[in-house]
Amino acid sequence: IVGGTETTISQVPYLVNLRQNGFFICGGSLISTSVVLSAAHCVYGSRPEEYTVQAGASRLDEEAPVVRKVSRFHVSPDYSATNFDMDVALLQLQEKITLIPGKVSTIAPCRNPPENNAYARISGWGVTRESNRDPAPQVRTALVRVLPNVECQVAYAGVARLSDSMICAAVRGLRDSCSGDSGGPLVYRGQVCGIVSWGFGCARLAFPGVYTNVASERVHDFIEQSLGRMGKY
Ligand code: 4AZ
């Protein structure tokens, strides 16, 4: 998170960190006691056995109260590793997570997209500057403005095509998600409305952060279908 502030997991108890072979790689959101919502690009090309999910920890270097192995991925069949269309995945956990009031809780996927220019909360352990390499040791958060679609299309015109499965947010030049925040939530009115997906740099004036639009028809349908295939976990 660039331009944010340090916080504790009690402020964002739905946020989990995702590890691959023990190394922190991404964020995610607990949408049920056994399912994590994250980005397809966090898991694409790898195997579920390599991943664990940690919940209830504010710091990456603390022993998390809840650690679970990932048993299955459900990566959107329409995910594109070239243009990041449909950058969404559900991770099924081997065992249910024990909810800890005020520390580990679930969050519902968004039904309706946030209103234009509304402020939404992002959080994660991603780098605090575009030029940094190491993740932030303690979880951070920021409020970012959800941009009207046209504003984002103008920003990325000639650089990338934005699809209906994407939504943009930032306080341009100041606050944004960044490397390591991928897969983590953009929260509006207590629901997860975006998944940190991509952007050109971080907190640049010209380039807002791009999020998977959870309330878009294609993303919403994918989530519902996947949960159905899991047998309504
Ligand atoms: C990344 O590299 C990344 N500013 C995540 C989010 C953004 C840019 C890059 C959005 O994972």
- Cα separation, 222 vs 144, in Å, equals 26
Q: Atom 2 in ligand 1: which residue has the minimum CA distance?
A: 179
Ligand 1 pocket: which of 2, 166, 186, 198 to mutate (most atoms <8 Å of CB)?
A: 198
199: Cβ below 6 Å to ligand 1?
yes
Which of 203-206's residues contact partners 24+ apart within 8 Å by CB, and which partners? Answer: 203/2, 203/3, 203/130, 203/170, 203/172, 203/173, 203/174, 203/175, 203/176, 203/178, 204/130, 204/172, 204/173, 204/176, 205/172, 205/173, 206/155, 206/172
On average, the pLDDT of the chain sits at: 97
212: Cβ below 6 Å to ligand 1?
no
User: 200 C-alpha vs ligand 1 centroid, how far in Å?
Assistant: 7
pLDDT band at 232 (very low <50, low <70, confident <90, very high): low
Q: Which atom of ligand 1 is found nearest the CA of 170?
A: 4
87: Cβ below 6 Å to ligand 1?
no
Please tell me the pTM assigned to this model: 0.98
- Cα separation, 119 vs 41, in Å, equals 25
User: 211 C-alpha vs ligand 1 centroid, how far in Å?
Assistant: 9
Q: Atom 6 in ligand 1: which residue has the minimum CA distance?
A: 178
User: 208 C-alpha vs ligand 1 centroid, how far in Å?
Assistant: 10
**171-217, pLDDT tens digit by residue?**
999 999 999 999 999 999 999 999 999 999 999 999 999 999 999 99
Please, which residues bridge with residue 54 across strands? 17, 67
Q: Atom 11 in ligand 1: which residue has the minimum CA distance?
A: 179
- Cα separation, 191 vs 60, in Å, equals 24
**119-161, pLDDT tens digit by residue?**
999 999 999 999 999 999 999 999 999 999 999 999 999 999 9
Give yes or no for residue 233 having a pLDDT over 90.
Answer: no
User: 220 C-alpha vs ligand 1 centroid, how far in Å?
Assistant: 22
- Cα separation, 89 vs 83, in Å, equals 16
